[in-house]
A and B are shown apart, each in its own frame.
Chain A
Amino acid sequence: MKRKALLAAVAAAVLLMAACGRDEEPAGTSQPSEVSGPVEGEITVWAMGTEGEYLHVLAEDFMAEYPGTTVTVTPVPWDAAHDRIVNAIAAGEVPDVSQIGTTWMGEFGAMGGLDPVPSSIDPGQFFQGAWETTVVDGVSYGVPWYVSAHVLYYRTDLAEAAGVDSPPANWDELRNLAEGAKANGAQYGINLETGVSGAWQTWVTFFWQQGGEFLDPDGETFTLDSPACVAALGLYKEFFDAGLSPDSPSDVPVETRFADGQVASFISGPWMMGIVENAGAEPDTWTVTHLPAEQSGTSFVGGANLSVFADSDNKPLAWAFIEYLSEPEVQAKWYETASALPAVQAAWDEPALATDPRVAVFGEQLQDAKAPPAIPTWEQVAAVIDDQIEQVAVGGAAPEEACQEMQAGAESIGTGL
């Protein structure tokens, strides 16, 4: 009996293996689609986090404008979103539209799960860095919905005490600010990330500003073992070696330590504005500013995109809804509803955005912000980079070694395209 069962299992395994074998052409369409058809019927939209909570507001506006349509918004928690989308694509049981994290585009695009963007949508209306997050292997699989850019948050009172009156224009000036703030009572001059997933988002600005790129222009070979990488890691390391930045994640969140004057500066996106205020920071003690610049002032662009699934039953309505969400007035309303910064440049002229000087800082930084390459293996490559940042910042590794490790790690993973 035992032997028979074993035999059956082996036979099943062999049969399965015999059925394996890759076709030459990868699955998935690769031509921009033409969508035609009446805008009517029903669609389901998945949205995550705060967006999932508030998107129904815009959906109701849309349904009022297009009678005879029903847009159902399903909120999905961020933690579960990635796996739910993978499962939906695998099973073919997809919603029509979903919000997609910018660093997931490569993966879902290469799976063949997303519909290419129709040619009626003009890429030029979006921030260029944001549009690039949608392009996988030359084809765009979504449109940017909202954006974020990392900027510098710093305590103006601590800076003034250290004799720094204007925002730091380059990293040397920021270092002076950090040292001065530390000498004037702050525990740390700056909070640079290490030892957490996503630390690369902070480090990557150092890398780009030194002229670094992840891939060569043809998009096939990693270029991490470069002088730019060594210089960027070296600069990053200096802040840790000098004790200017904490070398491990703290129990106390950075906004609290920033509000208390324990940490004089940090690099993060627009969502921290409200969080810093809620942590009790006095409005006149801090500000945001464009990142210090080296060869360029490039920052990291984040945010989320909107995509239509290849298996959607109602693509005309799905794309119509996305085009509606991309209208400047709707984007401005979305900013007022969910505090999400518009990905459409024209929306920044709307009164809701044009009046706030702090918001203007993000608008300015977005002109000089980039995203990592949209390759299916990005999350894994990013984990390798996170590891090496930690090795250099607190593990005592030399930047040269770490860049070689990054390159070797990335090469063994491949681009996945």
Chain B
Amino acid sequence: MIASLYRRAGRLPGSRPARAGQRHEGLVGWSFALPFMVFFTVFMAGPIVAALVTSFTDLRVTDIRDPLNVNLVGVDNYLDVLRSNVFHKAATNTVIFVLVGIPLTMALGLLAAVGLNSGIVKFRTVFRVGYYTPVVTSIAAVAVVWRMLLGAEVGLINGILSGFGITGPRWLTDPSLALGSLIVMAAWRNLGFLMIIFLAGLQAIPRHLYEAAEVDGAGRWHQFWKVTLPMLRPTMLFAAVITGIGYLQFFEEPFVMTQGGPLNSTLSVAYHAYNQFSFGNYGYTAAVAYLLFVAIALLTLFWFKLFRPNT
């Protein structure tokens, strides 16, 4: 850069030293980047490529002492996945989880953020910490608490319901309710993170836009609808992408709460992959993982289209 400035100014005699300097600069640059490059190649790109190759082979746990001693099976693993009834069930559950869970979590996160940004003045910090705590709490601890809440026989919710003479449903062991219970739990766990993101977005909206809207006679509802939401578009995009990536890989909640049951009603795609991995079907597992990867990429693309800036 500096060398080229000199050259343009015509102060540099000859071109040879300039090239040497460029090369030197390049070397310095590469040497700074080298640790990351090595780390990335060995620990990220390597496994990613290896998993892709695995998804086209019949690698099983019994081959692990000699992993190259396997057959290429083309797209058989992918066909097996797409034909599997259990995978269909898992995919359906995951789609429901994403379709209901993302809007729900975003709406709750936005509600909390707007409330804390304008409405609630007292104890604001207490509320912020309160909403954010679930995000940084270990899933194991969360599971214990939610089991106490949702337990059919000794749960707190059903205990309160029975006080009113109502026999509460089996939140976690009824096939028609279990997924819904987990969606609510996931929304509760993640809304704090989105709240922080939305708070930052809200505070970046220039005050004068609201003042102008007020002058034009817009009420609070109109201000929210016509100023806040459009100005939050980039923030919403970020929130939707992050939540989408997390929710498509939905795993922890069923893992700690229901083990995918009852009747596979809370089995997710990631959980299905986990099960197959523990059965030692590495080729099949890699195929599921790559299908999930494609789904995540497609969903992210969709969010970019949906929240594309209007201007």
User: Contact residues of A with B, CB < 8 Å?
Assistant: 9, 12-13, 16-17, 19-23, 26-27, 82-83, 86, 89-90, 92, 107, 110-113, 195-197, 248-252, 376-377, 379-380, 383, 387, 390-391, 394-395, 412, 416
B283 to chain A, nearest CB (A): 11
CA distance A104 to B52 in the complex (A): 28
Residues of A within 8 A of B152 (CB): 248, 250-251
> 13 A-B contacts, Cβ less than 8 Å apart?
A9-B48, A16-B53, A20-B70, A21-B70, A21-B71, A22-B70, A89-B65, A107-B61, A195-B263, A251-B152, A377-B280, A379-B279, A390-B263
Residues of A within 8 A of B56 (CB): 17
CA distance A416 to B278 in the complex (A): 15
A107-B280, A248-B170 given; A16·B154 CB < 8 A: no
B2 touches A (CB below 8 Å): no
A352 to chain B, nearest CB (A): 38
Q: Which residue of B lies closest to A15 (CB)?
A: B53
Instruction: List residues of B (159-195) whose CB comes within 8 Å of A's CBs.
Output: 170, 173-175
A250-B153, A376-B62 given; A16·B50 CB < 8 A: yes
CB distance B69 to A27 under 8 Å? yes
Residues of A within 8 A of B280 (CB): 86, 107, 376-377, 380
B249 touches A (CB below 8 Å): no
CB distance B72 to A17 under 8 Å? yes
**Residue from B50, B61, B173 within 8 A of A249 (CB atoms):** B173
CB distance A380 to B153 under 8 Å? no
CA distance A196 to B65 in the complex (A): 32
CA distance A383 to B152 in the complex (A): 25
Q: Which residue of B lies closest to A414 (CB)?
A: B60
B19 to chain A, nearest CB (A): 21
A94 to chain B, nearest CB (A): 11
CB distance A380 to B61 under 8 Å? no
Q: Which residue of A lies closest to B53 (CB)?
A: A16
CA distance A286 to B47 in the complex (A): 56
Q: Which residue of A lies closest to B86 (CB)?
A: A387
Instruction: List residues of B (31-74) whose CB comes within 8 Å of A's CBs.
Output: 45, 48-50, 52-53, 56-57, 60-66, 68-72
B147 touches A (CB below 8 Å): yes
| Number of B positions contacting A (CB below 8 A) | 42
Residues of B within 8 A of A383 (CB): 275, 279
CB distance B65 to A9 under 8 Å? no
**Residue from A111, A195, A379 within 8 A of B173 (CB atoms):** A195
CA distance A125 to B66 in the complex (A): 36
CA distance A12 to B56 in the complex (A): 14
A101 to chain B, nearest CB (A): 13
CB distance A380 to B65 under 8 Å? no
B281 touches A (CB below 8 Å): yes
Residues of A within 8 A of B64 (CB): 86, 89-90, 111
CB distance B69 to A195 under 8 Å? no
B261 touches A (CB below 8 Å): yes
Residues of B within 8 A of A195 (CB): 173, 261-263
B234 touches A (CB below 8 Å): no
User: Contact residues of B with A, CB < 8 Å?
Assistant: 45, 48-50, 52-53, 56-57, 60-66, 68-72, 80, 86, 147, 151-155, 170, 173-175, 259, 261-264, 275, 278-281
Residues of B within 8 A of A86 (CB): 61, 64, 280
CB distance B173 to A252 under 8 Å? no
CB distance A197 to B259 under 8 Å? yes
CB distance A251 to B154 under 8 Å? yes
CA distance A238 to B151 in the complex (A): 27
Residues of B within 8 A of A387 (CB): 86, 264
CA distance A394 to B259 in the complex (A): 17
CB distance A20 to B68 under 8 Å? yes
Residues of A within 8 A of B71 (CB): 20-22
Residues of A within 8 A of B70 (CB): 20-22
Closest 7 CB pairs of A and B: A248-B173, A380-B279, A251-B151, A90-B64, A110-B62, A16-B53, A111-B62
CA distance A191 to B57 in the complex (A): 43
CB distance A113 to B65 under 8 Å? yes
CA distance A99 to B45 in the complex (A): 37
Residues of A within 8 A of B63 (CB): 27
Residues of A within 8 A of B68 (CB): 16, 19-21
CB distance A9 to B170 under 8 Å? no
Residues of B within 8 A of A110 (CB): 62
Residues of A within 8 A of B80 (CB): 412
Q: Which residue of B lies closest to A397 (CB)?
A: B263
Residues of B within 8 A of A111 (CB): 61-62, 64-65
CB distance A251 to B147 under 8 Å? yes
Residues of B within 8 A of A17 (CB): 53, 56-57, 72
B264 to chain A, nearest CB (A): 7
B40 to chain A, nearest CB (A): 10
A254 to chain B, nearest CB (A): 13
Residues of A within 8 A of B279 (CB): 377, 379-380, 383
User: Which of B65, B68, B153 has the largest count of A CB atoms less than 10 A from its CB?
Assistant: B65
Residues of A within 8 A of B259 (CB): 196-197
- 14 new A-B contacts at CB < 8 Å, known A251-B147, A377-B280: A16-B53, A17-B72, A21-B71, A27-B63, A83-B278, A195-B261, A249-B173, A251-B155, A252-B153, A376-B61, A376-B280, A380-B279, A387-B86, A394-B263
Residues of B within 8 A of A22 (CB): 69-71
Residues of B within 8 A of A376 (CB): 60-62, 280
CB distance B53 to A251 under 8 Å? no
Q: Which residue of B lies closest to A384 (CB)?
A: B86
Residues of B within 8 A of A12 (CB): 49
Q: Which residue of B lies closest to A194 (CB)?
A: B262
CA distance A351 to B61 in the complex (A): 44
A86-B64, A251-B147, A379-B279 given; A9·B49 CB < 8 A: yes
B163 to chain A, nearest CB (A): 18
CB distance B45 to A9 under 8 Å? yes
User: Which of A13, A249, A251 has the largest count of B CB atoms less than 10 A from its CB?
Assistant: A251
CB distance A395 to B263 under 8 Å? yes
